[in-house]
Amino acid sequence: MSKVFVVAQGGGPTAVINATVAGVVTAVRQRYPGAQIFGARHGVRGIRNDHFIDLSAISDADLQRLAHTPGAALGSTRDKPDAAYCERILNQLRAVAADAFIYVGGNDTAGTLEVLAGADDGKIAFVHAPKTIDNDLVENDHTPGFISAALFVAHAFRSVDLDFQALPGVYVGIVMGRHAGFLTASSAAWRRSESDGPHLVYVPERPFSIEGFLADVRDARQRFGRCVVAMSEGVAGADGRPLAEMLKAEIERDAHGNVQLSTGELGQAVQMELAREFPGVRARVDTFGYLPRSFSGLIGDVDRREAFDAGVHAVAVAAEGNGSVTIGASTEERISKIGSVPLDAVAGKTRHMPDSFLLPDSQHLSPEGTRYFTRLLPAPPDIYAPFL
C-alpha cells in the first residue's frame, strides 16, 4: 500500500510558505515513489470539511512556480479546534488513510498538532513545519518568512529616512508584532551612523509610555532635525494595556478577545498625539499592516531555500513519528542547520526578542542585536549620501 501524506497551511501567509509545501511534495516523491499527497484547503478546516486537492500529479515546473509564489496557495485558517473539532479532523485523516499530516504554521499550529497527536492512536505522524514573520517560535534561531518580511521593513525605513532628510519632520511606521519585536527591530538593521533612521525603536518586550515616546521624539528632532520611529503594533504600558487602549482608539477584537492591532485606528491615534505635541510639524504615521507579510518584490533567497528545506525535513521527521522542524543559526555561508524537537517544545510557546538586542535604557539596537540582523539580511543597498 502506498503512503498517504496530508499537508496544510495555518496562520498568516508569508512570502515563502508555499516553498515549504513544495519541499514536502518533492521529498515525498523522492522518498516514497507513488505516494499520494493531499493538500487541505484552508488548513484544518479543509480536513474537517473534506476539502482536499491532489498534489501528487503537480508537474515539476508548476512545483517550481509554487515555490516562488508568495501567499498561501492552499488557503489558510486561524481556527483553534476544540475536542469535537479535533475528532472530526482525525476521522477525516483516517478516512483518507493518512500516514502523516504536515502542518505549516506558527506556535498555535504546533499546538493543534500536539492535541491531535495526543488524541490519535499513534498510527498517524503529526509534523509541524515552522512559519511566521514574527520570528517568535522557541527552539528556532529564526523562522521561514521572517527574513523576507524583515527585508521589506529594512528597505522601507531606509527609504523613508531619505524622504525625511529631504523634508524634515516626524515619521512613525507601525509594524506587525503582537508579542515579539524582531520584525520592528529589523528596521534598524542597516543603520550605520547615529543620524541614520530609525532614531527610535519600540518593541512589545519593553514597557511603553506615551509621555516617554513624545519626549524621545522631541529629543531626536533637536539632535537630527527629524525623527523616524519604528513601533511594534503590540507595544503596551507597564500595566500590560496595548497602546491602542492607552490612546482610547476605536479598537476591534477578534473571536478570541484579542485587540485587532493591524488596523488604521492605532496609527490615527498616534498621529493625533503627534499633532497635539508638535503643532505645525510635518508628522506622518503609516500602518504597515499586512504589506511586509507576502510582498512579492522582496523575497529572500535564503528564506525561500530554508522554507523549502524545512518541508523536506518534515517528511524525514514523519518517518520517525511526531515532531516540530527547527531552523538553527546560519553560518557565514548563510546555511542553517535544520533539525527537530518534540511538538510540546514549541506548541503554544512564544519566543520574545532578547532584551540584550536593545541598548539599556535606550530605543536603539545594541551591537548584539545588530549582529543578529546583519547575519540574516543581505548587505544594504549602496546609496549616495545626501548633501544635507
Which residues does 111 contact at the CB level (< 8 Å), separation at least 6?
80, 347, 348
16 in Cβ contact with 307 (< 8 Å) = yes
Helix (H) or strand (E) run with residue 211 in it: helix 210-224
* Gap between the Cα atoms of 262 and 277, Å rounded: 24
Torsion angle of C-alpha atoms 151, 155, 160, 166, degrees rounded to 10 = 160
Among this protein's residues, is 163 annotated catalytic? no
Q: Is 316 helix (H, G, I), strand (E, B) or coil?
A: helix
Helix (H) or strand (E) run with residue 5 in it: strand 4-9
Catalytic residue among 134, 136, 161, 303: 134
Joined grid coordinates for residue 349: 510557546
369 in Cβ contact with 361 (< 8 Å) = no
DSSP 29-46: HHHSTT-EEEEETTTHHH
Fill in the DSSP letter of residue 171: E
Joined grid coordinates for residue 139: 527552539
What are the distances in angstroms from CA 86 to CA 13, 38, 103, 329?
Answer: 23, 18, 14, 34
3-state secondary structure 329-372: EECCCCCEEEEEECHHHCCCCCCCCCHHHECCCCCCECHHHHHH
Fill in the DSSP letter of residue 259: B
* Gap between the Cα atoms of 230 and 173, Å rounded: 5
Using only C-alpha atoms, the chain has a radius of gyration, in whole angstroms, of: 22
DSSP 153-165: HHHHHHHHHHHHH
Report the catalytic residues: 134
